[in-house]
Amino acid sequence: MKRILLSTLFFLFILTGAFAQKKTDFKVGIIGFYNLENLFDTEDDPKINDEEFLPEGGRQWTEEKYKEKLGNMASVISEIGTDLNPDGPAILGVAEIENRKVLEDLIQEDAIADRNYGIVHYDSPDWRGIDVAMLYNPKYFTPEHSEPLYVYLPGDTEQDTTFTRDILYVKGNWDGETIHVFVNHWPSRRGGEQVSAPKRNAAAKIVKDKIAEIQKEDSAAKVFIMGDLNDDPVSPSVKKILQAKKNAEGLRSNQIFNPYIPFFKNGIGSNAYRDAWSLFDQIMMTAPALDRSGDGYFYYRAKIHNKKHLLQKTGQYKGYPFRTFSFGEYQGGYSDHFPVYVVLLKKV
């Protein structure tokens, strides 16, 4: 495996504590998440509601637009974290994808083709026909187990069911150690934030219960929770159900650290609506991922990939993420969400 090393000289300026006092080299690992904003192909799938994303559909979704969208998405993915590791994300969770085919097309784009990304994907029962998935670089990560976790929404009955995205759970080997990853796209705020909150709380509870199951077998398990949560770091689903904390110090092994809380409190977001920033896109982790004393990867920093070229340059939505569609009109942009990622280090 190719080693990406950062020298001690560099880290003398950015690390504190014991590691900054002695000569140490580090491998750099990147874990990211990106909502790809309606990455649909142009083919009709009678099993899902994809009619608007057809050449004759409401969005006039042509092969030319699809190819441009793929190129735009690959271009952004090719940039994430490459200032610290030229290979970019070892693991990238994605949301708002129609099927496996769009991911197979995506990873063949020139900008990222040489990474040879693998795919973990399951079809969700979501009423819009969109799924979550995970891309992984086989140089760094090998999946060992995966499964979709069904989200049973409160108020549903056998006769009246509202389907949402499954939660993707993946367990695998990351450069010699076992990690667990959850990729989420929780129910939207359709109908209002408070009215829809129980649905997101239900999704959070599924993640929380699965983590507890993992920790019964391994109390030191490194678990990463990522996704478009349709909630901010201070929302009940994150703050009360997951009980995610903003401070890394003093956490018990079964607790969850959320490095995006300070971003949100400082007004920094990943998506914008009605002149206000939200931070729906987050990556959290259990406390063992913060442990710098072992031989595995440990958390270093969190980032939002909000480069200037990803911003709308003009008009009413100047400064917002430069998206693919606005009110149904094709814009030729990227996504209405910025990618987020965390940087982890490993002593070598």
Q: Residue 25 to residues 173, 202, 255, 285: CA-CA distances in angstroms?
A: 22, 42, 29, 24
pLDDT tier, 13 (very low <50, low <70, confident <90, very high otherwise): very low
d(CA 307, CA 325): 19
Q: Which domain holds residue 61?
A: 5-347
pLDDT tier, 156 (very low <50, low <70, confident <90, very high otherwise): low
Q: What is the pLDDT of residues 112-126, one digit of tens each?
A: 999 999 999 999 999
Residue 15 predicted with pLDDT over 70: no
pLDDT tier, 22 (very low <50, low <70, confident <90, very high otherwise): low
Q: What is the pLDDT of residues 242-259, one digit of tens each?
A: 999 999 999 999 999 999
Domain of residue 318, CATH code: 3.60.10.10
pLDDT tier, 6 (very low <50, low <70, confident <90, very high otherwise): low
Contact of 213 with 202, CB cutoff 8 Å: no
| Mean pLDDT (the chain, rounded) | 92
pTM of the predicted model over 0.85: yes
pLDDT tier, 157 (very low <50, low <70, confident <90, very high otherwise): low
Total number of domains constituting the chain: 1
Give the rounded percent of residues in the chain with a pLDDT score beyond 90: 86
pLDDT at residue 300, rounded to an integer: 98
